[in-house]
Amino acid sequence: SRDYLFKVLVIGNGHVGKTSLVHRYVNDKFSKHYKITVGVDFALKVLAWSDTETVRLQLWDIAGQERFTSMTRIYYKEASGCIIMFDVTDSSSFRSVRSWKEDLDSKAMLPGGAPLPCILLANKCDLVPWQIPMETIEQFSKANGFIGWMETSVKENKNIDESLNFLVQKMLML
């Protein structure tokens, strides 16, 4: 049997749902109380991937304001994959995705020097109206080196397991 440990970064502007995602995925809970993430936090999820494979995911959530502090190096160190999240009702959170991705690619890479597999999550898809058309997200995801994108709702538990499984598949192929 084989055991894998992957460190996964969860990145994006404040209030897009990063803390809620980690909480939902790891504890299967959704809490609607607004919480400001202080510093770096990580949570562990253990997946029985197959009869012979166990996958341990370390999910690292970072607060936007920590971006340029001394914590950054620790945060990006030895990461295997990344989730960049925005809020479909907040166009500025989508506009920030490009700089989050550039930041990621400049600070973290795989041992061979390739960029980390990174999935783009269009969160709060339960809310209307969306501020960003699907075609725009699709084109942006392709043009900026994402492994793909998915609409998610942490609130309604939509596409959370699916998106994490997709990322795990890509990390296992490395």
What distance in Å separates the CA atoms of residue 134 and residue 130, rounded to the nearest whole number?
A: 9
Mapping DSSP to helix (H, G, I), strand (E, B) and coil, where does residue 138 land? helix
Are the CB atoms for 10 and 61 separated by under 8 Å? yes
Q: Does 20 bind ligand GDP (CB under 6 A)?
A: yes
Structure tokens at 119: 């999935």
Q: Does 123 bind ligand GDP (CB under 6 A)?
A: yes
Q: Which of 45, 56, 155, 170: binder of ligand GDP (CB under 6 A)?
A: 155
Q: Comparing C-alpha atoms, which of 60, 41, 168, 51 is closest to residue 117?
A: 168
Q: Does 18 bind ligand GDP (CB under 6 A)?
A: yes
Q: Does 141 bind ligand GDP (CB under 6 A)?
A: no
Q: Does 34 bind ligand GDP (CB under 6 A)?
A: yes
Are the CB atoms for 159 and 151 separated by under 8 Å? yes
Q: Which is nearer to ligand GDP, 54 or 157 (CB)?
A: 157
Q: Which of 15, 56, 67, 170: binder of ligand GDP (CB under 6 A)?
A: 15
Q: Comparing C-alpha atoms, which of 127, 151, 124 is closest to residue 137?
A: 151
The CB-of-10 to ligand GDP minimum distance in angstroms stands at: 8
Q: Note the residues at the interface with ligand GDP (CB under 6 A).
A: 14-20, 32, 34-35, 37, 123-124, 126-127, 153-155
